[in-house]
Amino acid sequence: MPTPEPYTLPNSRTEPDGSAVVRVLSYNVRSMRDDEDALARVIRACRPDLVFLQEAPRFFRWRKHAARLAAKSELVVLGGGATAAGPLLLCSLRTTVEHTEDVLLPLTPGLHRRGFATAVVRFGRARMGLLNCHLSLDGDERYAQTGMLLERLAAMDTPHAVVAGDINEQPDGPGFRRLAAELRDCRRVRPWGGEYTFTTTAPQRRIDAIFVTPGVEVLGCGVPSGHPGVSAQDLRAATDHLPVLAALRLPA
């Protein structure tokens, strides 16, 4: 793994050629059972355009919980939530939304229902697909879900795409390797910040990731510990995973 470069992650902007720099955050929020205000502070400090949340509230008044977190984070709800079995998408007002669709995956008896939250969005003249996932704890089911993910991504028919989520295995696992063979693992392309995402108290595993299709330039990707405004106290209080933040340049 290359050594992370000591530089500041680029801010969101639209370039003169019509391309766009976009900040993407992926975060498992454990049903928002922890410190919601700390969670919102972490999200705000990362200044994301797009947020891929896993384990968003799925039961009683889940839409209210999602809307409240979005408001505290100075964002809006884009799609997903209980209708996607947990993955939730938030976005900034900079985002133009073309289409959203929640996808439920086949249910394996005795295991949790899983799903994808998907969308097609634009930033100026830059257009891309989004897919938020939280893959199974069961190895065989998880590997099958990576195939479903790649099929769904191809069916979105967008020139560029971002996939983010809780993969539930490390980069040497078969499902992770399958995704990395078809997509670009942003952390591996240009490491920035921290590497390990689980757990917050003793991070020793990288099981959360952001991937992009070829053609999307990765400007940096990693855990934003040490990022301005992101405190270690808030990271520990917000949930049991650490977030992954990436800056990407999307072609027009």
Q: What is the DSSP string of 179-226?
A: HHHHSEEHHHHSB-SB---B-SSS--B--EEEEE-TTPEEEEEEB-TT
- Residue 2 falls inside a structural domain: no
Across the range 171-180, mean pLDDT stands at 98
* Average pLDDT taken over every residue of the chain: 96
Instruction: Read off the pTM.
Output: 0.96
For residue 54, what is the domain's CATH number? Answer: 3.60.10.10
- Residue 4 falls inside a structural domain: no
Phi and psi at residue 166, to the nearest 5°: -90, 105
- Residue 135 falls inside a structural domain: yes
pLDDT for the residue numbered 4: 53
- Residue 157 falls inside a structural domain: yes
Q: Whole domain around residue 59: which residue ranges? A: 18-250
* Number of domains the chain is built from: 1
Q: Which tokens go with 122?
A: 């634009």
Question: Using one digit for the tens of pLDDT, what is the confidence trace for 60-73?
Answer: 999 999 999 999 99
Question: Using one digit for the tens of pLDDT, what is the confidence trace for 17-53?
Answer: 989 999 999 999 999 999 999 999 999 999 999 999 9
Across the range 114-126, mean pLDDT stands at 96
Q: How confident is the model at residue 8 (pLDDT cuts 50, 70, 90)?
A: confident
**Has residue 6 got a pLDDT over 70?**
no
pLDDT for the residue numbered 5: 52
- Residue 83 falls inside a structural domain: yes
Q: 64, exposed or middle or buried, with CB in 10 Å at 0-12, 13-18, 19+?
A: exposed
- Residue 147 falls inside a structural domain: yes
- Residue 33 falls inside a structural domain: yes
pLDDT for the residue numbered 116: 98
- Residue 175 falls inside a structural domain: yes
